Amino acid sequence: MTLEFDGSSPGGLAGAGGDIIKDTSTADFGADVIEASRDCLVLVDFWAAWCGPCKQLTPVLESVVTSYNGKVRLVKLDVDAHPAIAGQLRIQSLPTVYAFRNGQPLDGFMGAQPESGIREFIARMLGPDEAAAVEEPLAAANAALDAGDLQSAAQDFASILQAAGQHPEALAGLAKCYLESGDTERAKQTIELVPPDKRGAASVASVLANLELAESAPASGELSALEGRVTANPADLDARLELSIAAAAAGDKQRAVDELIEIFRRDRNWNDEAARKQLVKFFEAWGPKDPLTLEGRRRLSSLMFA
């Protein structure tokens, strides 16, 4: 299945150019910042050509702001060429960034910042109401995904990303759409857009675990060969572990769980608890509500506490 929808390419999730990023002057500051901030959040980057940290910060700011597709704008002011505004705002060090909303400065920061810090700052400036506005469309997108309507789900996740930037849950959802359609390469590209500090989210971890499984898909005849090894020697735990991973990659979750449970039953400490650890990876990939996750957890617990 090939997913077709506007903005489906990960590289196309971020808008670019136009009025999202612009330079301003003393004369234009009122229109570019004060008036513009009545429609969206405006960040003002106070910089100078001689400022080394400014050269580090500005490209990161531009990248982050662009990812919000117009929900956040960046206005850059060269304080050497236009010192009046910086004087009014008492800018004392560079770079300095101020956030404006509804014609007023809200807060700011000084010095070069990592991408994660800038995103946290923007999230704080946008406030909980705007974050909550994502929850309803995100729930609808996940419902479509759970129902197997990949096309609708992908379009919904893409719409969220257009409005909210690199939202980790929406990126994970879109990556899942690609995974379930068999397009692992685009799934990888999409999940790589998740900021590093957000990759611990359960939905993101699930995609990463599923990608790992997809890359373990057995070659033609490999599954049969592993089954033959286990049949010939039921105590071959290496073969059982390989068979479990291959079965999961091929979509046979029941077989994957059964083999690992059998390994654990025979020797729970084998290979540094390899069976239990692999089960945990499967549970992470399949999600907490999957029937095989629930069954696997129950069977594992019964053996652990028997």
Rounded distance between C-alpha atoms, residue 243 and residue 226, angstroms: 6
Pairwise CA distance, residues 174 & 158, whole Å: 7
Nearest to 23 by CA among 72, 77, 79, 59: 77
Q: Is 40 a catalytic residue?
A: no
Nearest to 108 by CA among 93, 116, 7: 93
Q: Is 155 left (phi over 0), alpha (psi -120 to 50) or beta?
A: alpha
- The strand order across the sheet containing 104-110 reads 21-23, 72-78, 41-47, 96-101, 104-110
Active site residue 177: no
Q: Does residue 219 sit in helix, strand or coil? A: coil
3-state class (DSSP) for residue 74: strand
Q: Which member of 13, 54, 260, 274 is catalytic?
A: 54
> Which residue out of 41, 51, 257, 300 is catalytically annotated?
51
- Residue 250 per-residue DSSP state: T
Paired sense of beta strands 72-78 and 41-47, if any:
parallel
Per DSSP, the residues of 111-171 read S---HHHHHHHHHHHHHHHHHHTTHHHHHHHHHHHHTT-HHHHHHHHHHHHHHHSS-HHHH
DSSP type of residue 35: I
Q: Which residues carry out catalysis?
A: 51, 54
